[in-house]
Copies of this chain bind each other. A is one copy, B any other.
Amino acid sequence: MNNFIMKGDICYSETSDTLRLCEDAYLICENGRSMGVFTQIPENYQHFEVLDYTGHMIVPGLSDLHVHAPQYAYRGLGMDMELLEWLETYAFPEESGYKEPAYADKAYSMFVQDLKYSPTTRFCAFATIHTSATLKLMALLENSGLKGYVGKVNMDRNSPDYYCEESAEASLEATREWLMQSEQFHNVRPIITPRFTPSCTDALMMGLGAIASENHLAVQSHLSENLGEIDWVKELCPDSKNYMDTYISAGLAAPGRKSIMAHCVYSDEREIQMMKDNDTYAIHCPQCNMNIASGIAPVRKWLDIGVHMGLGSDVAGGATLSIFRTMMEARQVSKLVWRLLDQNLKSLTLEEIFWMGTKAGGSFFGKVGSFEPGYELDALVLDESRMPHPQALTLRQRLERYICLSENGDLLHKYVSGNKIF
């Protein structure tokens, strides 16, 4: 039974503008869910075990809403190209290697091991086109105790011969087979994953839309990341209103069914509004957008329009799994947007970046990413011992500092739905 109490300095988001900061407080976990944060243990929970993390910050687990698991092996490499050339030169050759079960096992084990010890508790991951390797990844993730979604990737056009599915029908058939086999997993669920419009024929897009709809499955893909990519989509889909419309018209984004679109660097107000109208999350991946020279997404516009949003490491366009680092980078590039592009777009605040990495992104998974009553108890106990300070700091200062300074090792404990991961 996941019933316990965590004592410590507790921080979580209420809204995009509001942090709750509770020093020396008690977080109640009952059946894996938060019952709230209190200054004293309420009477009816007095019999719960108290995990004493006094002096340590406790924050919600982070959500990584865009990560390419098979690219983890080459993170930090090949940072010298733009998207389309980078895919052909680095991503596709590496991903094609996952057809070999031994390689998939070895490389995915490294990814899952590092993800387990990262600040991420919830994820949306791309796999490859290979059913068996995708199931391997799901098994490893299931075993890690983390929760999230994995997608077998679909690609049936404009891809190299060595890494392309034979036809739309073959791709759909493989997807159905994969979905059936995915039923063995509980913490890790399947998500429909057309790579991006250029890689998928209309028949494949429509077929995937139908599968998503029939099975009530979420969808993840890429949107408006790079100028060359956007021009290409215009050529490929001359009848679409814009890039987002290629997903909507195939039934891959629709009201009432969640979908994820990574990047949205060049999405204008109309495209963002279409995402909002179709319950689509805009995922900000600032490091990748720098590394492959895509640009900077105007997140302030997303906030103004009120589209759902979250953060992504986008390994291996991004090199690091830490969503704390992504928060910092989101804040940094938002300052460059303000400085270099548009002074109407105010830079992001500490409150906003923390909310994006916790409650905003977590909402994709249900009641996740906060400690308000009823939320699943995903929690990180932070280790600040590597960052001593000569003066006393407020809790808000400690949180800001931790986001800027933390490295992979700076976690003491991690819980997912009240289960201790380490």
Contacts and interface: CB of A to CB of B under 8 A. Distances in A.
Interface of A: 73, 75-77, 79-80, 103, 106-107, 110, 287, 290-296, 319-320, 328, 331-333, 335-336, 338-341, 347, 349-350, 386-391, 393, 397, 400-405, 407-409
A404 to B, nearest CB: 3
A122 B25 CA distance: 45
A402 B401 CA distance: 24
A390 B107 contact: yes
A336 B290 contact: yes
A340 B389 contact: no
Given A404-B319, A407-B407, A407-B408, A291 B335 contact: yes
24 contacts: A73-B389, A75-B401, A76-B387, A77-B393, A77-B397, A77-B400, A77-B404, A79-B331, A103-B390, A107-B390, A110-B388, A110-B389, A291-B335, A292-B335, A293-B339, A293-B347, A295-B339, A296-B340, A319-B404, A336-B336, A336-B340, A340-B340, A340-B341, A407-B407
B400 A332 contact: no
B405 A320 contact: yes
Contact of A403 (B76, B103, B293, B331): B76
B333 A290 contact: yes
Given A293-B335, A340-B341, 12 more contacts: A73-B389, A73-B390, A75-B405, A77-B393, A77-B400, A77-B401, A79-B350, A110-B390, A290-B335, A293-B347, A295-B336, A296-B340
A314 to B, nearest CB: 13
A332 B390 contact: no
Contacts of A387: 76
Question: Of residues A76, A296, A386, which shows the largest number of chain B Cβ atoms within 10 Å of its Cβ?
Answer: A76
A95 to B, nearest CB: 13
A291 B77 CA distance: 25
A347 B293 CA distance: 9
Contacts of A340: 295-296, 336, 340-341
Give me the 6 closest cross-chain CB pairs, A-B, nearest first.
A76-B404, A293-B335, A290-B332, A76-B401, A107-B390, A407-B407
A329 to B, nearest CB: 9
A355 to B, nearest CB: 16
Nearest to A328: B319
Question: Of residues A295, A387, A404, which shows the largest number of chain B Cβ atoms within 10 Å of its Cβ?
Answer: A404
Contacts of A107: 390
A53 to B, nearest CB: 22
Contact of A76 (B335, B349, B386, B400): B400
A340 B333 CA distance: 12
A328 B76 CA distance: 10
Contacts of A339: 293-295
A320 B77 CA distance: 22
A19 to B, nearest CB: 14
Nearest to A105: B390
A405 B76 contact: yes
Contacts of A295: 336, 339-340
Given A110-B390, A293-B347, A390-B103, A404 B338 contact: no
